[in-house]
Amino acid sequence: MAVYKNVASQKVAIYAYDSDAGAPKTGDAANITARLSKDAAVSAATNDANPTELSATHHPGIYVFDLTQAETNADMLVLSAVSATADVVIEPVILYALPGDNTALNAALADGAHGGSSAVMTLKQLVVDNDSGIAVDIDGTTGGLNVQASAGTGIVAVSGGGNGHGISSVGHGTGEGLSLSGGDSGKGIQVNDGMVITNASGTALVAVSAGGDGNGITATGNGAGEGLSLSGVTLGAYVGQAAVGPTKTEMDSAFTEIKGATWTTTDTLEAIRDRGDAAWATATNVTVSDKTGFILASTGLDQISAAEPSGKPTTFPGWIMWLVQRFRRSSKTPTTLTTQTEAGATITTQTITDDGSGTETLGSPS
């Protein structure tokens, strides 16, 4: 069973069966209700609270629910109905939605501006496959697809093969036969296998080759017309030359601007750099003891870290701060001397050894 997606005025039928009597259940519409789930989502009570019994005589047990347009706006519908009457069994109904009807399209095709009520589009064959893509054959002799203006003049004709053109475009009135615009960053026309534009007699006017030895674009004038006419485009001075690049004269002029009027061997960039390297590599040895005026700034000691060590020091500033803490915060037992941080954490311990005569020996901090 199926419905049209997002279309109003549709119905769905259910079948009620009396399992105790073994027969269809009639006259039970007021006791039947249903819930609807769309696309397997949480269900809700149907807008039609109770169904309408179709016919107790001719269609016993058949009841019909009316669906709103919103209730059909899903790809899959599950309608589960129940009856308050004992022993009545109703199976759930699963529906898959089809695309909505083509009322708007049919009205547009039949409109007078598109050919009136006469046949606007007659397709004798429409083939869609992996090889042809989409092939439309109208009558076997004319173009595969023909799009016409109201006067019947062909605007775009795509032939099915034979000797016909792949695409033949004819302007209607003052409009273009075929207008292609890339838009944004897209391509207006992309040609992979070559393209040839000819005049009425078949002479090639513009040829875009696919590659190989052919020219990228070859333009031939027709009569007094230009082979290729470009307006508002600056091509530069090197179009038509075998190689595009600065000449020797231009390179010499550029170097003259860099070096100035004169440039001897001692003025080259390499020579200037070598002189700089030699000067930078030379320094004067300084012996502090034979110089006067060297003093330690009053803030010099502040550059030495005053952080408390957390263990046995390994640097000079660390030993300095350990020694400070040795006098500021330490504790002693008969066998151990402990140096601590201001917060009371142990930095090091030292073993005290007594030789029995009152002489104590202090071990290394650890």
Instruction: Copy the structure tokens of residue 248.
Output: 């020797």
- When pLDDT is averaged across residues 313-335 and rounded to a whole number, the result is 89
Q: Would the pLDDT of 133 be above 60?
A: no
User: Alpha-carbon distance 192 to 194, whole Å?
Assistant: 6
Helices (runs of H) and strands (runs of E) counted in the chain: 4, 22
Contact 364, 350 (CB under 8 A): yes
Nearest CA to 11 out of 73, 58, 65 is that of 65
Sole residue written with tokens 């669906």: 67
Q: Inform me whether the pLDDT recorded for 35 exceeds 70.
A: yes
Query: Could you report the per-residue pLDDT of 142-174, keeping only the tens digit for each?
Result: 445 555 555 555 554 555 555 555 566 666 566
DSSP, res 307: P
- Percent of the chain past pLDDT 70, that is, above it, reads 53
Domain boundaries, the chain: 2-98, 104-169, 303-362
Asked if pLDDT for residue 59 goes beyond 70, the answer is: yes
Q: Return all residues near 3 (Cβ < 8 A) that are at least 6 apart.
A: 10, 12, 67, 72, 77, 95, 97, 98
**Which has the higher per-residue pLDDT, 144 or 58?**
58
Query: Does 270 or 44 have the greater pLDDT score?
Result: 44
Q: What sign has the CA pseudo-torsion 20, 24, 25, 29?
A: positive
The model's pTM:
0.34
Closest CA to 198 of 239, 151, 166: 166
Distance in Å from the first CA to the final CA of the chain? 88
Task: Name the band, by pLDDT with cuts 50, 70 and 90, for residue 279.
Answer: low
Q: Is residue 41's pLDDT more than 60?
A: yes
Q: Rounded to an integer, what is the distance from CA 117 to the centroid of its chain? A: 46
Report residue 119's pLDDT band, with 50, 70 and 90 as the boundaries.
very low
CATH code linked to domain 2-98: 2.60.40
Mean pLDDT of the chain: 75
Please check the confidence at residue 305 and state whether its pLDDT lies above 90. no
The residue-averaged pLDDT of 7-21 equals 96
pLDDT reported for residue 96: 95
Q: What is the pLDDT of residues 62-90, one digit of tens each?
A: 999 999 999 999 999 999 999 999 999 99
Q: Are 366 and 350 in contact (CB under 8 A)?
A: yes
pLDDT tens per residue, range 343-364 = 989 989 989 898 888 898 988 8
- Residue 109, token pair as written in the block: 């095709």
User: What tens digit of pLDDT does each residue of 187-224 get?
Assistant: 556 655 567 777 777 777 666 665 555 556 666 665 65
Residue 182 — pLDDT band, cuts 50, 70, 90?
Answer: low
Q: What is the pLDDT of residue 284?
A: 59
Binned at pLDDT 50, 70 and 90, residue 124 comes out as very low
Q: What is the reported pLDDT for 148? A: 54
